[in-house]
Structure 1
């Protein structure tokens, strides 16, 4: 299989952790229902490719995200991976969602906040302050149960209704999530408008306000083709956690201009070329994304999958 030539660059982390979001964020907006058994195999294949964090599902009410209505059925089918050291985070929207997740033995929880009022209203039907008030007892209880808690923060760089989002506004909400007990943050470029200078400016101000770089992950969408450039800017700042979705699957159902996530294969290709360790087998990963593309009945959006697995362009399910 073709692999990139490794030419390390100075000032980059020697290793990063990929937070794989394909099974949850990648599939959540699919119109046709993906069978639970296929989702479970997807998670197992991703783990077999070397991904140690695979976000599995969401315990949101099925009315809001019908694709993930099988959370209770899916999670037990993948729990065996925890014994192999694979983390299986799940998204919870509120206390009821947390109850459902904890009842199944989930140990990694995520909550989903917004940096802007418009998106908080569209996605959560609350103001930013109201949504944080809902999350505070959820995070406190999760921590009391010894769960690791991730705080997603959407619209960190731009909002389809409000335009550019001031850096200080993002920092304020980010600090609120950490203050309530979140172990890490994921900074989301939900509509893909970030550019590298903007990324570094936000990271610098977070540091200035006391947010350590080692608590920060980045989550870029590729709407304008900037996801890899923005990721590199974050790595240059010292970030070592990067969200990505196998095959570039996903978007946001509440933000019409949000196209797919950064493809995990495209990320791994760049990181291998830079000599940064990920533990991921690129061949197994691309094969997994090609397999999922066939199940979804369409070509993979990932450029690396298209280059390495040409047959992935024939979306014939198998």
Structure 2
């Protein structure tokens, strides 16, 4: 299958990246980061989450961040919500999109959100219904698609089963997450091939971590199967809580450079993107990944 001519990049740094920081990033810094990402051409940006501040204090100011953001007429500001209460907060903040988060690993689901996969999906059902009634797009995440810190290998069929349920409840797109960065190109290809049997390829996104330095190779393997949506985090923000000192999400800068080298359009200005990366890493006191 030929490579796509264009790839849509979903920027997850302001949420998935910053939520793992040991210190809370000031609201003004988050807002400026998002403004810089928008200026670089990123239009689909995950800006925060409406989860318990007790568990994720770094995201406690999501409503305040959203209240200060400029208009995003060609894209959407998205937020993660764990339940109906989170959805109501997102709607009140005028979120352009909400996302729910399930796992392909039973052990990870119980360790991370204290319930089984089936119970997590049942918890999302009222969120999906409320989103549909409000006309707010719903996105689904599947974690641990290429490996689990507790179970090891995860079967592609298990990933496909969760993806199928998320699509059935109304998600417009399912993002497949290599949460611990354990996958190889062959594993990534097998996973996407299994999911593509139950989810159209144009509704599959890739959310890979770069723990072992294979994220770009894994992305390339999946692009060859017709996937054309990639999640990435500016400056490789995020880290991996299961691999101390390891890189986090694949860096948006690296993804854009890789895609340009392949002749694939993104609509993103590399120079401005690099400036955004330097800005946030400067605020965090470290060099970009």
State TM-score, norm by structure 2: 0.97
Q: Match for residue 260 of structure 2?
A: 272
CA contact (8 A) 1:15 1:240 kept: yes
- For 1:41, what is the secondary structure of its paired residue? helix
Distance 2:156 2:262 in 1: 29
Which segments of 5 or more consecutive residues in structure 2 lack a partner in the other structure? none
Q: Match for residue 104 of structure 1?
A: 93
Q: Which aligned pairs between 1:38-187 and structure 2 lie closer than 5 A? A: 38-78=29-69, 80-82=70-72, 84-187=73-176
Q: Match for residue 194 of structure 1?
A: 183
CA contact (8 A) 1:25 1:251 kept: no
Distance 1:211 1:278 in 2: 23
CA contact (8 A) 2:211 2:240 kept: no
Q: How many residues align?
A: 288
Q: CA deviation at 1:140?
A: 1.3
Q: Which aligned pairs between 1:152-301 and structure 2 lie closer than 5 A? A: 152-208=141-197, 210-253=198-241, 255-256=242-243, 259-301=247-289
- For 2:98, what is the secondary structure of its paired residue? strand
Distance 2:63 2:285 in 1: 26
Which segments of 5 or more consecutive residues in structure 1 lack a partner in the other structure? 1-9, 302-318
- For 1:112, what is the secondary structure of its paired residue? strand
CA contact (8 A) 2:9 2:44 kept: yes
Distance 1:215 1:197 in 2: 21
Q: Which aligned pairs between 1:21-32 and structure 2 lie closer than 5 A? A: 21-32=12-23
Deviations 1:20-64 (A, max 9, x none): 001000100111111101100000000000011111000001001
Q: CA deviation at 1:121?
A: 1.1
Q: CA deviation at 1:73?
A: 0.8
Q: Match for residue 315 of structure 1?
A: none
State TM-score, norm by structure 1: 0.88
CA contact (8 A) 2:236 2:247 kept: no
CA contact (8 A) 2:101 2:143 kept: yes
Distance 1:44 1:139 in 2: 29
- For 1:181, what is the secondary structure of its paired residue? coil
> Which one has a bigger Cα radius of gyration?
1
Distance 2:203 2:216 in 1: 20
- For 2:150, what is the secondary structure of its paired residue? coil
Q: CA deviation at 1:81?
A: 2.5
Distance 1:171 1:226 in 2: 22
